[in-house]
Amino acid sequence: MDFPSVPKVVEAEDWTYTMRRSMQEIIPGLFLGPYSAALKSKLDVLLQYGITHIVCVRQELEANFIRPNLPNHFKYLILDVADCVTENIIPHFPKVRDFIDGCLSSGGKALVHGNAGISRSAALVLGYIMEKYGLSYENAFSYVQQRRFCISPNEGFMRQLKEYEPIYRAQKTLQNGQSSKEKGRHKRRIDEVDEYADIPEAMDQCS
User: What separation in angstroms does the CA of 120 have from each of 18, 42, 57, 113, 171?
Assistant: 20, 21, 7, 8, 23
- Taking each continuous run of H as one helix and of E as one strand, the counts in the chain are 6, 5
pLDDT of 147: 95
pLDDT of 179: 58
Please, what is the Cα angle at 120 between 115 and 122, to 5 degrees? 100
Q: What are the 10-residue block averages of pLDDT along the chain, 207 residues in total?
A: 84 83 96 98 98 97 94 98 97 98 98 98 98 97 96 98 96 79 49 40 38
pLDDT of 176: 83
Share of the chain above pLDDT 70, in %: 83
Specify the DSSP element, H or E, that contains 205.
helix 199-206
pLDDT of 14: 84
pLDDT of 200: 39
* The CATH number of domain 18-169, selected from 3.40.1160.10, 3.90.190.10, 3.40.50.720, 3.30.70.3400: 3.90.190.10
Give the start-to-end residue ranges of the domains of the chain.
18-169, 176-206
- 66 in Cβ contact with 87 (< 8 Å): no
- Residues 22-63: tens digit of each pLDDT: 999 999 999 999 999 999 999 999 999 999 999 999 999 999
- Residues 150-163: tens digit of each pLDDT: 999 999 999 999 99
DSSP state of 3: -
